[in-house]
Amino acid sequence: MQTDPIADFITVVRNAMIGRQMEAVVPHSKMREAIARILSKEGFIERFEVFGEKQKQQRFKYLRVHMRYYDDLRQEGPLHKIARVSKPSRRVYADATHNRPMRGGVGIRILSTSRGVMTDIEARRKNIGGEVLVEVW
């Protein structure tokens, strides 16, 4: 049973980077896909894809995340740290006025806003706040 699907997704991605794996596979959800889309757009992962398999009249969708590394030996990648901020036990929100750049502009925060999932930079530009899901640097 998954109590926090976003934290499970982040853990799988983090462990894949630590283990120098080329890809990681997790069950699909719209929130996970939105987070993967932002990670891909910001250059922290190579790409992602949604695929499915059919079992007993049901279609299960999965999300395959392809990791990005700087060299062929997979020693180092752009993703140094990824952490869950807002948890089911403690929600963390950032309003539009107090949404400051993270780590001097090096990292990003991924927010869930009323206009969808976006980075803190986009939220600042649109002058909206939201729940801080993930910090990445």
Q: Which residue has the tokens 């869930």?
A: 112
Say if residue 6's pLDDT is above 70. yes
Q: How many CA atoms lie within 13 A of 42 on its CB side?
A: 23
Look up residue 88 and give its two tokens. 């089911």
Range of the domain at 28: 5-136
pTM of the model: 0.91
CATH of the domain at 48: 3.30.1490.10
Number of domain units in the chain? 1
pLDDT, tens only, 13-37: 999 999 999 999 999 999 999 999 9
Residue 47: predicted pLDDT: 97
Q: What is the pLDDT of residues 95-113, one digit of tens each?
A: 988 777 776 778 999 999 9
Strand partners, 61: 52
